[in-house]
Structure 1
Amino acid sequence: MSKPTIVLVHGAFADASSSWNTIARNLIGQGWPVLAAANPLRGLHHDAEYLRAVLATIPGPVLLVGHSYGGAVVTQAATGVASVTGLVYIAAFAPDEGETAGALDEKFGGAAQRVSQARPLPGPADPQGPPNIELSIDPAQFHAVFAPDTDPETAALLATTQRPLALTAMLEPVDAPAWKTLPTHYALATNDQMIPVAGQRFMADRMNATTIEVPTGHAAMFGAPDALTDFIISAGQAG
């Protein structure tokens, strides 16, 4: 069986290169085909449709890996896509049917509401929808809550180049979660402040996911790249 292409999906307040460079380099070095997708961060259904369009261009099997909000995107996007053989969540949201990432965030008391800054988006707001705003993390708190496993200079750069998330992305519910039909793996970041580990464990347990724990903050790819690389490879081999 050919190796699946590993598609890495970043979350909010991040981008493909800063999130995945080290893990992508590790995977490529071990002979795995890799694509780090550019998650638009404009809305769950919009982002999932974009990811489906990316998946349609990839020949052969695919293993989807999502970090943070990227977990919600892969949960929505992979349903009904025959090429997807499995899902890997890294400190990620994994909503159930009708559930939103925002509801999970509120349920488990993540730091996002405390450290986020809002700014208006252009265009008219939908009177029946959420406020037309996007969110970013207060740069002064980025190191402590998002990327504590980096040095202060790296964290400052990540805070400066972070990509905001449209509020609607946190408020749109998942339709049919792909984890109900696909093999699922979950890496829990035990020092995470954005998605506390109790919330991660709840999501991993209800998916009956194969799990590991890494002693990192939310941006676990910086604190445990080798362990996460091995975990992703094990998921790819299992599929």
Structure 2
Amino acid sequence: MKSTVRFKVLGAAALVCGAVAASLVATDAGAATVSAAQRIAPARASDAHKPTVVLLHGAFADSSSWNSEISYLRRHDYPVYAIDTPLRGVAYDSAYVEAQLKTIDGPVVLVGHSYAGEVISQVAAETPNVKALVYVAALIPQVGDSANSLIGQFPGSELTPENLRTVPLPDGATDVYIKADKFGTAYGNGLPKAGIRTASVTQEPIAFSALTDKATVNPPKGTPKWAVIATDDHAVPTRAQKFEADRAGARISYVRSGHDVPAIAPHAVNRAIVAAADSLR
């Protein structure tokens, strides 16, 4: 299901919008709309010792890609949020997420899929309450790296010009989509056919300029990191994922999955998130 808001409230908690004008809507049936005047506070004693898990989607997806992880984390009493990032570029998206995280009290486990690996790396360097990072089939940059350079350093990506569709915008920017008939090959392999068809026409575009944005900071060395590496990834080559995870000193796990690991193999993501959260106790 497509989200109609930029920041979905998904834990037993509430949020102050701060500088970002976004509606906060509880996603489970029967939950009440959340007032923008409320602060995050654990609703049950069992929540008090658990960090907040914040999930960031990558290019060509939105926050609904985390639905399985959200259900699991809620069942286990984790405060959890999924942010719909604008996908306008590393600096813009990082600032957007940083503004959201300033409203969260206590430690945060920040989870990023795909392109969002670049975003969580920068956010962690700028936001003290980010205490652990989980990269899911993700890009993990060092200063000077871009999405294009990270993806292209090893062969195998199907995110090639002939598989992409570009849309010029009135403001002079350009959005990038995966061609609908190539979505299953380049991104969604491992999803059921019906899921591929739906995702191919509901995908969120990324700004073309975001693909060449260069990282200006390294992921903080002192922040523990986990990396879930997809072994059948046609978007970000598995070798690239491993190289970047090794370079960052991440704890690595492997899963047989295409690029959309959050939807295809949520169990692998859940294990990494829980391990990251447990490390903070």
Alignment of 1:7-86 (within 5 A): 7-17=54-64, 19-86=65-132
**Amino acid paired to 1:230:** R
Which residue of structure 2 aligns with residue 127 of structure 1?
Answer: none
**Amino acid paired to 1:98:** G
TM-score by length of 1: 0.93
**Amino acid paired to 1:185:** W
1:181–1:80 distance in 2 versus 1, CA, 3 Å: farther
State the 1:78 CA deviation: 1.5
State the 1:154 CA deviation: 1.1
Using the alignment, how far apart are the partners of 1:123 and 1:83 within structure 2?
Answer: 36
Which residue of structure 2 aligns with residue 134 of structure 1?
Answer: 175
Alignment of 1:110-125 (within 5 A): 110-114=157-161, 115-124=163-172
Alignment of 1:221-236 (within 5 A): 221-236=262-277
Using the alignment, how far apart are the partners of 2:220 and 2:198 within structure 1?
Answer: 34
**Amino acid paired to 2:260:** A
Q: Answer yes or no: is the 8 Å Cα contact 2:154–2:239 preserved in 1.
A: yes
TM-score by length of 2: 0.80
The answer to which of 69-78 and 113-122 deviates more is 113-122
Q: Answer yes or no: is the 8 Å Cα contact 2:225–2:251 preserved in 1.
A: yes
Which residue of structure 2 aligns with residue 181 of structure 1?
Answer: 222
State the 1:180 CA deviation: 2.6
Task: Choose which of 204, 225, 246 in structure 2 pairs with 1:163.
Answer: 204
Count of residues in correspondence between the two structures: 231
**Aligned partner of residue 136 in structure 1, secondary structure:** strand
Higher relative contact order (CA 8 A, sep 6+): 1
Using the alignment, how far apart are the partners of 2:79 and 2:63 within structure 1?
Answer: 16
Q: Answer yes or no: is the 8 Å Cα contact 1:15–1:163 preserved in 2.
A: yes
Using the alignment, how far apart are the partners of 2:185 and 2:220 within structure 1?
Answer: 31
Q: Answer yes or no: is the 8 Å Cα contact 2:158–2:185 preserved in 1.
A: no
The RMSD of aligned alpha carbons is: 1.2
1:173-194 per-position Cα deviation (integer Å, ceiling 9, x unaligned): 1111224331111000000010
State the 1:80 CA deviation: 2.7
Task: Choose which of 182, 194, 214 in structure 1 pairs with 2:235.
Answer: 194
**Amino acid paired to 1:70:** A
Using the alignment, how far apart are the partners of 1:29 and 1:117 within structure 2?
Answer: 39
**Amino acid paired to 1:26:** Y
State the 1:169 CA deviation: 1.0
State the 1:147 CA deviation: 1.4
Using the alignment, how far apart are the partners of 2:150 and 2:191 within structure 1?
Answer: 26
Task: Choose which of 78, 85, 95 in structure 1 pairs with 2:141.
Answer: 95
Using the alignment, how far apart are the partners of 1:178 and 1:204 within structure 2?
Answer: 11
**Which structure 1 residue ranges, 5 or more long, are not aligned?**
125-131
**Aligned partner of residue 202 in structure 1, secondary structure:** helix
Task: Choose which of 161, 186, 189 in structure 2 pairs with 1:145.
Answer: 186
The answer to which of 74-83 and 56-65 deviates more is 74-83
Using the alignment, how far apart are the partners of 2:177 and 2:98 within structure 1?
Answer: 26
1:13-58 per-position Cα deviation (integer Å, ceiling 9, x unaligned): 00001x1001111111111110001110011100000000010111
Using the alignment, how far apart are the partners of 1:52 and 1:178 within structure 2?
Answer: 15
**Aligned partner of residue 63 in structure 1, secondary structure:** strand
State the 1:108 CA deviation: 2.1
Which structure shows the bigger proportion of residues in helix conformation?
Answer: 1
State the 1:81 CA deviation: 1.1
Larger radius of gyration: 2
